């Protein structure tokens, strides 16, 4: 019904459909599936205007229009009224309304309806709400609808079902292929059906969103932001889209029936706490699942990070992420049964792993001399209270695959002690390295041919735990083919340089003297070794040197560049390069990175280019 305010608006504004941005949701489903009933609920909760094509046609008959008799006969026969009539009625109703959100119920009923609406109004529906209901249930409902409708008799009902199967279902299939269909299991009680409907209409921001991490880590926060742009949810290519996800690309996937029979995917189950809800078909909980490409093996001994499901809660101003560990695999049959699940959209977005988080976690509680003393006595209680992380804790907390985590741990020189991954305190490492070097002099060991058992034995007798002694060899040396270890000149020299610079900025000449004094006699240090570790600065005629290690910088490019430009507003390429060469952003070359985050200037054509903040 047009309200007084509606008419006033129309008069004042003369709004035409093309001038206002209109949101349309098509509500489709067989006759008696409950479209009208649920539309009334949606109107109340979500502020849409309900336009029932059938009601508009019946009103047209009542109004005594010239088409009245034709429409009446068609309805009596369960046939579809010509598109031009229906589209005109719908168009007029939308124009006459001051609302801009419409539920169009019972239309388009065939391909011709759909094409005519699209070409006349230029409107593409936001999505299609599809009520799926068995025919017997629809028939039962129609025959007891009791609204005095001429077409709710068994003969016309059968004809309507036939028309629905032949003409209307293809329209639904058309929208399924476009990823626009949100299917509702409509044979349940009205209230339950509405619960499912509600989750579809609830604005994304208020919803808990569940993202799948397929093949590669997924940037959840960016993904969530992207999801807020509704248009981007519309492109959907089903399971193919997941399987073909290219690095650095993003794709929206609506979960729909095209997924179901896909042979390459299996469904994985997740947190046990959620299982009862899912199994009992509580539609509210249906967002929880994970797709796993079948060709990827799943090892249950290691949590399968590659295929984890993330739960995202978007509050007013912050985005919180929880990863839910999967605990069980659910059989494939379950997947097939899942066709009744309602539709959820995801956005996948590939990014580099979050290794910074690993550094942060392990730095909370580095392994120190005290730990070595108390390791034996540390009971479980204490271990739980101190921040220690096992492999599975890290897999759970760091957004990276198992391989990426492994190389991240290696880059941090982390070591597994008593089942927990630890970074060893620098002073402690300094102590053990010095002890090794001291023993090499005492025992006349060559730093190019260290016997593992002998070194570890001696270090143990000096009070270092066996794991730490092995770790020392690993961090500062490499194992040779003959099983002996050789200390790596560069790594040892860098270690001592870092130790000196921990005290702060120092004059270059003093630094060099002290550095040479510290390094073992057999080794040769050169300042080039410290690329990416130190920066120099001219103060008057003196050159000073200070620690600025690439390993202490964040791995996210934006943060990395901001830190670099905070350190120095201008960088020459030779200085900058060591600090960015490890950055990797899927889909972005190093040139691309520079373009994105720096401004390049070249005072004269043959001068070195200089990079500053964008």
Binding residue positions for ATP = 32-37, 145, 188
- Which parts of 339-462 are beta strand (E)? 345-349, 414-417, 420-423
54 is a site residue for ligand UDP (CB under 6 A): yes
Neighbours of 430 (CB within 10 A): 15
Contact stretch for ligand UDP (CB under 6 A) within 51-59, 183-191, 222-230, 476-484: 51-59
- Interaction partner, residue 34 (ligand ADP, ligand UDP, none; CB < 5-8 Å by kind): ligand ADP
φ/ψ of 5, rounded to 5, equals -65, -40
Closer Cβ to ligand ADP, 189 or 504, answer by number: 189
The tokens describing 164, both together, are: 């629905």
d(CA 31, CA 560): 60
CB closest to ligand UDP, residue no: 54
Q: Residues marked as binding?
A: 32-37, 58, 79-81, 106-109, 113, 145, 149, 160, 188
Residues 397-418 as b/e (b if ≥16 CB within 10 A, e otherwise) read ebbbbeebbeebbeebebbebe
d(CA 557, CA 579): 11
Which string of x and - marks every residue 530-569 that binds ligand UDP (by CB under 6 A)?
----------------------------------------
Least distance CB 109 / ligand ADP (angstroms): 12
Three-state DSSP string of 535-596: EEEEECCEEEEEECCHHHCCCCHHHHHHHHHHHCCEEEHHHHHHHHCCCCECCECHHHHHHH
- Interaction partner, residue 196 (ligand UDP, ligand ADP, none; CB < 5-8 Å by kind): none
Give the side-chain half-sphere CA count within 13 A for 484: 10
Least distance CB 80 / ligand UDP (angstroms): 4
Q: Residues marked as binding for CMP?
A: 113
Least distance CB 360 / ligand ADP (angstroms): 51
Q: In sequence order, what are the beta bridge partners of 181?
A: 128
Task: Enumerate residues 6+ apart whose C-beta is below 8 A from 537.
Answer: 505, 543, 544, 545, 546
Exactly one of 28, 51, 78, 429 binds ligand UDP (CB under 6 A); that residue is 78
The runs of H, that is alpha helices, within 228-282 are: 238-243, 275-279
61 is a site residue for ligand UDP (CB under 6 A): no
- Interaction partner, residue 353 (ligand UDP, ligand ADP, none; CB < 5-8 Å by kind): none
- Which parts of 53-191 are beta strand (E)? 101-105, 127-132, 181-185
Closer Cβ to ligand UDP, 89 or 254, answer by number: 89
Least distance CB 30 / ligand ADP (angstroms): 7
The C-alpha R_g of the chain, in whole angstroms, comes to 34
Phi-psi region of 591 (alpha: psi -120 to 50; beta: other; left: phi over 0): alpha
75 is a site residue for ligand UDP (CB under 6 A): yes
Phi-psi region of 504 (alpha: psi -120 to 50; beta: other; left: phi over 0): left
- Interaction partner, residue 86 (ligand UDP, ligand ADP, none; CB < 5-8 Å by kind): ligand UDP
Least distance CB 58 / ligand UDP (angstroms): 7
Least distance CB 99 / ligand UDP (angstroms): 20
Exactly one of 25, 80, 236, 580 binds ligand UDP (CB under 6 A); that residue is 80
Closer Cβ to ligand ADP, 36 or 465, answer by number: 36
Contact stretch for ligand UDP (CB under 6 A) within 79-87, 204-212, 557-565, 599-607: 79-87
Closer Cβ to ligand ADP, 123 or 142, answer by number: 142
505 is a site residue for ligand UDP (CB under 6 A): no
Tell me which residues touch ligand ADP (CB under 6 A). Answer: 29, 31-37, 141, 145, 189-190, 193
List residues near ligand UDP by CB under 6 A: 31-32, 35, 52-54, 57, 74-75, 78-81, 86, 106-107, 109, 113, 151, 160
């Amino acid at each position: 019904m047009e309200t007084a305010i509606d008419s006033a608006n129309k008069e004042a504004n003369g709004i035409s459909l093309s001038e206002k941005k209109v949101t349309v949701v098509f509500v489709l489903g067989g006759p008696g599936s409950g479209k009208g009933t649920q539309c009334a609920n949606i109107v109340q909760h979500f502020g849409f205007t309900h336009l029932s094509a059938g009601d508009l046609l019946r009103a047209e008959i009542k109004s005594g229009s010239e088409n009245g008799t034709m429409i009446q006969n068609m309805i009596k026969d369960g046939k579809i009224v010509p598109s031009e009539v229906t589209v005109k009625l719908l168009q007029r109703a939308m124009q006459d309304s001051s609302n801009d959100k419409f539920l169009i119920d019972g239309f388009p009923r065939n391909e011709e309806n759909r094409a005519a609406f699209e070409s006349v109004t230029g409107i593409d529906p936001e999505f299609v709400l599809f009520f799926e209901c068995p025919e017997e249930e629809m028939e039962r409902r129609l025959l007891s609808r009791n609204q005095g409708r001429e077409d709710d008799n068994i003969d016309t009902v059968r004809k309507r079902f036939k028309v629905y199967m032949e003409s209307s279902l293809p329209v639904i299939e058309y929208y399924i292929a476009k990823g626009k269909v949100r299917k509702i299991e409509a044979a349940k009680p009205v209230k339950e059906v509405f619960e499912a409907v509600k989750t579809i209409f609830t604005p994304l921001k208020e919803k808990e969103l569940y993202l799948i991490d397929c093949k590669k880590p997924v940037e959840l926060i960016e993904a969530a932001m992207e999801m807020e742009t509704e248009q981007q949810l519309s492109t959907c290519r089903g399971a193919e889209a997941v399987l073909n996800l290219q690095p650095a690309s993003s794709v929206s996937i609506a979960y729909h029936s095209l997924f179901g029979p896909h042979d390459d995917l299996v469904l994985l189950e997740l947190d046990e706490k959620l299982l009862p809800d899912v199994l009992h078909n509580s539609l509210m909980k249906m967002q929880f699942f994970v797709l796993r490409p079948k060709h990827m093996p799943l090892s249950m001994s290691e949590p399968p990070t590659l295929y984890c499901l993330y739960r995202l809660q978007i509050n007013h101003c912050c985005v919180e992420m929880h990863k839910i560990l999967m605990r069980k695999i659910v059989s494939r049959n379950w997947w097939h049964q899942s066709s009744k699940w309602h539709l959820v959209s995801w956005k996948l977005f590939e990014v580099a792993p979050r290794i910074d988080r690993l550094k942060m976690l392990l730095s909370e509680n580095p392994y120190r001399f005290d730990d070595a003393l108390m390791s034996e006595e540390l009971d479980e209680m204490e271990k739980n209270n101190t921040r220690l992380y096992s492999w599975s804790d890290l897999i759970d907390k760091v957004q990276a695959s198992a391989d990426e985590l492994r190389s991240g741990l290696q880059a941090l020189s982390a070591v597994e002690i008593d089942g927990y991954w630890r970074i060893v305190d620098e002073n402690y490492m300094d102590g053990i390295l010095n002890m090794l070097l001291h023993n090499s002099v005492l025992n006349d060991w060559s730093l190019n041919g260290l016997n593992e058992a002998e070194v570890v034995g001696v270090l143990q007798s000096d009070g270092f735990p066996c794991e730490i002694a092995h770790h020392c060899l690993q961090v500062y040396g490499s194992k040779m083919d003959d099983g002996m270890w050789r200390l790596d000149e560069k790594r040892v020299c860098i270690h001592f340089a870092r130790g000196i610079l921990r005290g702060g900025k120092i004059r270059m000449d003093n630094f060099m003297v002290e550095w040479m004094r510290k390094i073992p006699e057999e080794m040769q240090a050169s300042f080039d070794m410290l690329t990416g570790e130190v920066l120099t600065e001219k103060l008057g005629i003196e050159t000073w040197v200070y620690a600025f290690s690439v390993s202490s910088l964040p791995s996210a490019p934006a943060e990395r560049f901001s830190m670099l430009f905070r350190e120095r507003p201008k960088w020459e390429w030779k200085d900058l390069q060591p600090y960015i060469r490890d950055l990797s952003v899927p889909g972005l070359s190093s040139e691309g990175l520079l373009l994105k985050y720096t401004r390049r200037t070249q005072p004269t054509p043959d001068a070195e280019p200089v990079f500053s903040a964008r």
